[in-house]
Structure 1
Amino acid sequence: MTTIVLLASLLPFSYAACYLILCVVSPWGRCYRCHGRRYHRTAIGTRRDCRRCDGTGRRVRIGRRIAEYIRTEYRAGNQ
């Protein structure tokens, strides 16, 4: 029984570690607004370049932004 509880408690940590590795290896992910299509539909049905990703279809992952923020704060504190 304790083995199951131990494995269940390690699951979130392993998920976070995998996401951290993914953010380091591949910092770019699909844009959540246009879903990587580079455009979105307006209210009247026309296509427009996505403003969130500037029409590239790619955005920096949230985990990468957090890691960059922590690194910047750490470096600023050591000066």
Structure 2
Amino acid sequence: MTQKILSLTLVSALALSLPAMAHAACVAEYKAKRDNPLELHYDVAQISGPCTIRNARTQLADQLSRRGLTLLKVLSVSEQ
């Protein structure tokens, strides 16, 4: 009886943790630039939080500005 309860508890815990493990990473495709001299960049970056262009724009603008780049456009976001 105790073994059945333990097995059932283990199966329940595993079933509840599967959605968290299956959560996909969000990837944003973007264009950026650097002035003097002009450099254009195209890249892909992983973002956290909601997989939306708005969220990607916010995160990427902060990350890129620290590298001396200006975000021009987020082309797309997708869950991988």
TM-score (structure 1 length as normaliser): 0.32
TM-score (structure 2 length as normaliser): 0.31
Considering fraction of residues, name the structure with more strand: 2
Considering fraction of residues, name the structure with more helix: 1
Q: Which of structures 1 and 2 has the bigger CA Rg?
A: 2
Higher relative contact order at CA 8 Å, sep ≥6: structure 1 or structure 2?
Answer: 2
